[in-house]
Amino acid sequence: MQIKTQRWIDRWIGQLLCGAVSLWVRLAGSLRPAPKLAKEPKHILIILLSEMGSIVLAGPMFKALHARFPGATLHVLQLKRNQEVAKLLQLADLKNFHALDDRSGLELLKDVWRVWRAMRQLPLDVVIDCELFSRISSLMAFVVGAPLRVGFTPHTQEGLYRGSHINRAIPYNPYQHISKQFLSLVDALDGDAAMPRNKAAPVRDMPPETALSVNFNPDELLRYRQNLLTDFPVAAGRKIVLLYAGGGLLPERAWPAAHYARVARGLCAAGHAVGLIGLREDAELAHGLQQQTASELCLDLTGYTKSIRELLMLFHAADLLITNDGGPGHFASLTPIQTFVFFGPETSRLYGPLGGTFGAQARSYESGIACSPCLSAYNHRQTFCDGDNQCLQRIAPDPVLADALAALA
């Protein structure tokens, strides 16, 4: 199903259904006592439908849930195409991962029915909806039958109506990093329905790291690096810099290809190997960058990794990642690699990568242009720049090249 179609259905049909559910909850709730958190909840469902990178930013939230409810079974509901990272990180037992296939409306309805039946049979004690504007996640939080429903509310802000059936609601805060807001969802379980604003929650510092890791055998990493150098012998004895120039589902997040080519030329001239990473559909972009770089040290690695696990092993084998805002910048925090990330349509203040267990900290670049950031929960991540992303074009390549050479030194 195309993303535009999803947005239309979510906006119009989703709001109508949320309104109907909210009215029902208001009428039925007046006859029932306010729900309370079980002393030892047995089953907790976390709904996190958005991009794979969000799972890494939700790491501190999962750590807090495990610490607070060690006896509870965590269930994770995601879009099917986004499940690989969560399973790799073992955020729940494999049997407790649940998926929604959004490739077609019929498949989506089938999965909603399947998840509804599975959750009703448990039954659930708590559902935590991590989405900001998706109405389907809000509706799923209701139909799965958990007495406590935690999620974000726009309060009086327009443009985010998701119903009023979330009974442990906290206001979405566009000025706080999303990892800190995910933690506030855990804090919202305290108190009662009379105090939905979470005023009594503890003051939390910004999480310093993801609290997540992927275990690799040292021999496995060594073999992977040896295979990499066998496939690309020109990289032997050199520092390896990976460039992710693709924009993924949001091409306006991409730093200009000409800027990447300028950095690649400078790195190759300094004797470093440059690997252009991405999916197979990024091969044309990589080929163009190779032509502009005109060096045998510029390598096409698009499609080289067959899984997120292999991508992480590639990060272990390399020295620096330069990337657009997106999944790779967050996955890199699970490895020792140094990372430079470009932000424009979105901001590192809300979505910047966290520190990793290896101590590496990502460096963010932003131009500070007046219209940046322009993507938000309030406009359903639809930009008004019409492809002319000046916020990223104005981040000059030469200072980035100088920083990269200094980091490699």
- pLDDT of 233: 97
Low-confidence spans in the chain with pLDDT less than 70: 1, 30-31, 157-159, 191-200
Q: What is the DSSP string of 114-131?
A: HHHHHHHTTT-SEEEE--
Q: What is the pLDDT of residue 197?
A: 55
Q: Within the chain, which residue ranges are assigned CATH 3.40.50.2000?
A: 3-187, 218-408
CB 80, CB 108: distance < 8 Å: no
CB 60 within 8 A of CB 182: yes
> What is the rounded distance in angstroms from the CA atom of residue 157 to the CA atom of residue 170?
13
Pairing mode, if any, of strands 363-365 and 273-276? unpaired
**The predicted structure's pLDDT at residue 249:** 74
Residue 357 · residue 334 · CB < 8 Å? yes
- Round to the nearest angstrom and report the end-to-end CA distance of the chain: 47
Query: Which CATH class name applies to 3-187?
Result: alpha beta
Please check whether residue 178 is in contact with residue 325, taking contact to mean a CB–CB distance below 8 angstroms: no
As a CATH number, domain 218-408 is 3.40.50.2000
pTM above 0.85, yes or no: yes
